[in-house]
Every structure is written in structure tokens, then in C-alpha cells.
Structure 1
Amino acid sequence: MNVTYRLLALDVDGTLLRSNHRLSRQTKEAIEFVKRKGVYVTLATGRAFPSAQKIAKELKLETDLITHGGAFIGSSIDEPIYERRLNPEKAYHIVEILEKYKSHIRILHERYSIGNKIRQKNYIIAKMTIGVGDPLFYPMTFVDSLSNYLIDNPIAAPKICAHFRDESERLDAIEAIHEQIPNVRITSSSEGSLEIVSAGVSKARGLQILGAKLGINLDQMVAIGAYENDKEMITQVGLGVAMGNAPKDVKDLADWVTRTNDQQGVAYMVKEVFRKQLRVEL
């Protein structure tokens, strides 16, 4: 019996976007094609809400978006359907640990971002971690000491992330956070990255929350991703798809592997999976 899929969840970086951080015409056309089938299309991304919203606008999506790795979900920044934050005390403690290592740290609030200044080769690191991916209208502030900043300006943020050039330092930081801070989840969305959200937060959990609102079960969903933080949603939905550029461990968990992001992997998957599906009514 053929399954009718009612929701399509798309990761952004390494999935929707090509290596040049742009959407291809073929990808836009594929999203329009699946929308005409009556399928609910959403983004499931580690990006902050304003950044995800910019991509959604380009794709003409007016749906709830799963952002901050699942910590902030909604179609409006003012009225999210779900938000789960790291409390200010926990955020301070996380930053205090991260500052012991050479990393570029960012606190990702849904309205702004606060980052630490890197004195050595800062241009290279900044370009890797905050470059093309963030819209210019998303306010970004850089300070000498994030922990000192948080003493005077406590922040309850959905997510904190860091980027390391040294993998051993990244692994040490992960171990230190796990040892010292309870009830957090650490994952990664690119090489050298480390992303921290509250325990229980994930893209998969975000799809459960959105599905409950829409009356769509996980087995009626297709999710496509490219990195570690996509593993859970890929394994829990009806059809979990890995990009051709995904690491082997992500591909091994997927039901299906499509082409790479530079080979129109999303467009290829959409046409193959939804071509014969009749229009559904939500």
C-alpha cells in the first residue's frame, strides 16, 4: 500500500542551500510542485528564526518553522507555538565553560545574536561561522567577554553555539558541559560546530509538536537532512532522507539517500517521492 505523505520537513544548510549558500531555481520549482499537491512544507533548521524566515519567504512558505534546532517553532517571532529556552543562569555557566577554549561563541536569541571577539585570525573564523548564513537585518553584537556581558545583561536564549578549529578542544568542551551542566542537549550541524539547547529539544520533537497541531502523524512525514542534528528526525518520520553530501553515519540511518545539495538533491527527491501522489487536503 502506498503511503500518502502530508508534510515535508527540510533542513537548510547542506540540504536546501547549495555550497554557495543559495537556493537553485530547480529547488524552488520542486517546493512549488509539492505545495500544489497539498503537502505542508516546513523548514527544520538549527538557524535562528529570522534567518529561517528569510529562506521561507524566498520559498513562499507561510507555515510554522522549526528553528533553533527545535527550540523555537512558529510562523511569527511574536507568537511562537513552542519555545524552550536555556535559563540565564545556565546560559552563563555554558558560556563560562566555552570561554576556556579557543572557539567562536554565539548566543542565538530569536531577535539578536551576541558573539565573542576572536583576536587571532578572527576574520577567517567569523567568515566560517557567521558569514553568508545570517541575514544582515539580524542584529549581531560582538563583545570582549561574553560571560562579563551576561552578568549585566542576562539572556534566556533558545540556543548557544560555538565553532572550533581544534577537534580535540571541541570534544573536551562537550565533555566539560556534560559533566557540569544537567539537562542540556549537545549536537552539531557542521564540521567543528557545537550546539547547545535544553534537554528534550530536537528537530524530531519539533515535528511531533507541529504534527500534533496539524493532525499529522510522524509516519505521514518526509524529512530530509545532511548532518548530525538531523539524525533523530530522519529515523522517526515515515520517510527519512539523507543528502548525498551527508556523512556516512547519517546516510546509514536514512530510508533513502538522494543526490548532493550541489546536484539538486532536494528537487530530485521531491520529484521521485511525490510525483505519483495525489493532492492531499489538510
Structure 2
Amino acid sequence: MVYRLLALDIDGTLLKSNFKIDRSTREAIRYVKKKGVYVTLATGRNFPSAKKIAKELKLDSILITHNGALIASSIDEPLYERRISAEQVRRIVEVIEPYDAHIRLLHERYALGNQVQQKSQLIAKMTMGVGDPLFYPVTFTDHLSDHLETKPMSVPKIDVQFFNAEEQEEAYHQLMDEVEDIDVTASTRCGFEIIPKSVNKASGLQFLGKHLGISMKEMVAVGDFVNDLEMIRHAGLGVAMGNAPEEVQQAADWVTRSNDQHGLEYMVREVFRKQMKMQIELPVER
């Protein structure tokens, strides 16, 4: 199989644990791009944050952001978008607000979050603030539900950070029982992400593939956590990082090294360079 598209998760995949991009990773991406492979980012991050990473890598691709709810190369002209309705947002906030949790309503241009107790504030900033560019404003309010009464919001995604595993589990089940037409996934071990029903990175890749004329079997998808499962399962080659949990590795066709062990660069060398070599060595039909 000749792979024509490479889809990369950002956190835990493209980025090392220190949130930097290794030089060898940059070179690997430059290599496949030069060989005509379409390289995109498929991430739970907001669009401005993903666009910042793309610019750093010199990618002008259409990006799959907000876990597939917003697909665009320009924020002003999205190729595809799905939103959680204002009424659903209000109900979700009503369910989660009584818990010890930090909530962020992630619009494509800005975010609105609730204030959390001081003991949890540092944790919230560490786990949810990484990667938010300065040009993506985040506003905080004491009571999100009160704010939404006067200023309703419809958003592609909602992030929730919990500080108690039991409360996280309880809130998840309550959401599933009381709010319709949403899905819940995760990109960290201590929180979850709420998106419109049937939206995920795999559906985003399928939409992008139809736009580009590239089938799912011609794609390589690389990720490291639960929100990457669907694209790993449905891509022609689903790759899990060595730092991915067991269920993600089990779903993958191939497991590479961890993000701190040049896993992405290793995968490119093993898959794409061999592919390019095979293409060169194929005899020309006459």
C-alpha cells in the first residue's frame, strides 16, 4: 500500500513530554512532505493552538481540530464544523458545575472557564493551559451557568478537568444519562472532552480524505490516547506511540517508540522511507 496522508496527534505524539518538538521529528515531517505526502494535524486542541504548531512545522494543511468538530486551514473559512448547541452547553455546565472540576468552553476564537479553588488552580493551569497561545484569550467567571443565562455559547468542544477520580466517573454517567447528542472522550487521564455526537478524529479524517481524494486505507494515523482510538482503528495504518495506554496499543496496527524516544521519527523511517524505496525500485511497465 502506498500511503498518501499522514495524520498526527499533537500532545504525547508530536510533542515530547517537555512540550517541545524534537529536531529529528521536524526533519521526518519535512521528508515525507517533500515526497508528496499530505501531512495534517488531528488534535483535540483548539484551532489557534493547532495552527501555531502547524506554522512551526511549516505546514499549510487543512487541520482537524477540536477532536474533529472543526476542520479548517483558515479560522475564517472552515471546511467543516459541528457545534454543541447553546442549550446543550448550558445543560452540560449545570450537570458538571456542582463537582470539583474545571470547565472550559472552547470556542474556535476564545475560551470561557469557571474559577476553581486555589488548591486546584495550579493543577488546572498545568493540565489545561499548555499550548494555549496568547492570541487565544481565556476568560474566567465564578459561575458559568449564570454567565450563560445572559450570554449563551455554542462551541465545538468542552474540556473538563477533574480532581477526584470518583467524581469524574459519576459526572460521566450523569452526562450520558441526562444530555443527548454528545460524545465524551479523553486526551488526559484526569479529565474528559465533550464533543457533538458522532464527531471524532476518524470522521474528520474521512471528511478530509473525501475533500482531497484520498481514501482511509491510504492514510497513516498516529496517536497516543483514547481520543485517537477511532482514527487508529480506521486508518490504513494505525500507529500507537510507545507511551500510549494498553488499549490504544492493542487497537493499533503498529506500535512505535515513545514520544521521548523519537517515536515519530522512527515510524517515518520504518514506514515511509521503505515505501519510497519500494516505489523507486518498482520496474517500469512497458
Letter in 1 for 2:37: V
**What is the match of residue 145 of structure 1?**
143
Q: Is residue 2:15 matched to residue 1:7?
A: no
Q: Is the 8 Å Cα contact of residues 109 and 159 (structure 1) preserved in structure 2?
A: yes
Contact persistence 1:44–1:70 (CA under 8 A): yes
- Residue 223 of structure 1 is matched in structure 2 by 221
Match of 1:117 among 91, 115, 118: 115
Q: Deviations over 1:166-220 (max 9, x none)?
A: 1111111110010001110000001111100110100000000000000100000
Map of 2:245 onto structure 1: 247
Aligned with residue 271 of structure 2, among 249, 270, 273:
273
The correspondence of residues 181-192 of structure 1 with structure 2, limited to 5 A, is: 181-192=179-190
Q: In the alignment, what sits opposite 2:283? A: none
Asked if residue 84 in structure 1 is aligned to residue 93 in structure 2, the reply is no
Q: Is the 8 A contact 1:37 1:277 kept in 2?
A: no
**CA distance in structure 1 between the aligned counterparts of 2:140 and 2:161, rounded to whole angstroms:** 15
Query: Percent identity, aligned pairs only?
Result: 58
State the SS of the aligned residue for 1:276.
helix
| Structure 2 residue ranges without an equivalent (≥5) | 280-286
Q: Map of 1:187-202 to 2, 5 A cutoff? A: 187-202=185-200
Report if the CA contact (8 A) 1:49-1:67 is conserved.
yes
Please give the root-mean-square deviation of Cα atoms over the aligned residues, in Å.
Answer: 1.2
2:120 and 2:163 in contact (8 A); partners too: no
Cα deviation for residue 122 of structure 1 reads 3.5
CA displacement at 1:29 relative to structure 2? 0.5
Give the TM-score normalised by structure 2: 0.95
Distance 1:69 1:193 in 2: 15
Residue among 64, 79, 82 paired with 1:66: 64
1:45, 1:13 → 2: CA distance?
A: 8
AA at the equivalent of 2:211: K
Q: Structure 1: 5+ residue runs without aligned partners?
A: none
Aligned-pair distance for 1:129?
2.7
Query: Relative to structure 2, which stretch is displaced further, 130-139 or 183-192?
Result: 130-139
How far residue 37 of structure 1 moved from its aligned partner, in angstroms, is 1.1
Quick check: 2:48–2:109 contact (8 Å CA) kept in 1?
A: yes
Q: Give yes or no for the alignment of 1:75 onto 2:70.
A: no
Contact 1:112 1:139 in 2 (8 A): yes
What SS is found at the alignment partner of 2:189?
coil
Q: Which runs of 4+ in 1 moved over 6 A?
A: none
What is residue 259 of structure 1 aligned with on the other side?
A: 257
Query: What secondary structure is seen at the aligned counterpart in 1 of 2:133?
Result: coil
Q: Secondary structure at the match of 1:273?
A: helix
Aligned residues: 278
